[in-house]
Structure 1
Amino acid sequence: MAYKLFLDANVILDYILKRPEGYQPAKVIFESIVRGEHQAFTSPVIIHIVAHILKKILSPLQTQKLVLALLNDVRVLDTSHDVIVQAMSAGWSDIEDALQYYTALHYKTEIFISRDEGLLKKALPTLPVYSPAAFAKLLGKG
């Protein structure tokens, strides 16, 4: 079954930077996206976070190349005024998580993938949050 996935910054960074704590499940997810088995989405804020972190480690040119390569397979969903108001009204203490989650809800993505344990606990039934390892297991590759 094909899913519309929303990817959090930690999943993208785990894959790009091959971080030991999350690389293998992130690799499984990205391979399934590249094969066209799933659609992947993220937000401008997450792209900003990813680029900011990459630029601390890599050159600006390397960062640009990696982000552009990412954007070949991951679509960016804009966040509207109304979605921001809804996220701010949700009462979440982590504003960034609320913005990402409510953006994903607004665009009717089906699964939010994150290693953020606080976010895993806040998920609504309409948009479950999976850790990368749990989603890779769902795909039968974890």
Structure 2
Amino acid sequence: MTKVFLDTNVILDLLGQRIPFYDSIAKVATLADQKKIMLVASPLSFTTVEYILVKFESSESVLNKLRKFKIICKVCSVDEEIIEKGLNSDFKDFEDAVQYFTALQANCAIIITRNGKDFKNSIIPVMTAEEYISQALKS
């Protein structure tokens, strides 16, 4: 099963139902729900999503969304080695570096993000949710 790493911004698109990005990431989530792919995310994404979404809706609502999301998304580990690699990488943004090395350690085949330019040196293919869905439909 293909492991697909989700960057924080696309999780926010999904759980915050952010237009115009929601439809494509919802289709990716549906593939995971149908057990066609395995979604993977960093624990950092869960805390960041909660921090942002509680500004717009109740904490209870956000935590319920995260609980449901966790059913279709594996949470991988962030350890000292990942932090060390992130701190010493060429990434301009430390958070992106941590996300990248987390995806790499989890053996993900793809990273889905809306900020592909932040992962320009990635050895893992990087694409938007829309690009991924388009590619999946061709397969």
3-state SS, counterpart of residue 5 of structure 1:
strand
Alignment pair present for 1:132 and 2:129:
yes
Question: Which aligned pairs between 1:1-142 and structure 2 lie closer than 5 A?
Answer: 2-124=1-123, 127-140=124-137
TM-score, normalised to structure 2, is 0.93
Structure 2 CA distance for aligned equivalents of residues 131 and 46 of structure 1: 17
TM-score, normalised to structure 1, is 0.91
What do the CA deviations read for 1:46-102 (whole angstroms, capped 9, x no partner)? 111111111111111111111111111111111110121112211211100000000
Count of aligned pairs between the two proteins: 138
3-state SS, counterpart of residue 6 of structure 1:
strand
Shift of 1:120: 4.3
Percent identity between matched residues is: 26
Structure 2 CA distance for aligned equivalents of residues 53 and 137 of structure 1: 29
Q: For the Cα contact (< 8 Å) 1:87–1:99, is it kept in 2?
A: yes
Unaligned runs of at least 5 residues, structure 1: none
Runs of 4+ in 1 over 4 A off after TM superposition: none
Shift of 1:15: 1.4
Q: What is the root-mean-square deviation of aligned Cα atoms in Å?
A: 1.3
Unaligned runs of at least 5 residues, structure 2: none
One-letter amino acid of the counterpart of residue 106, structure 2:
Y
Q: For the Cα contact (< 8 Å) 1:119–1:129, is it kept in 2?
A: no
Structure 1 CA distance for aligned equivalents of residues 126 and 116 of structure 2: 9
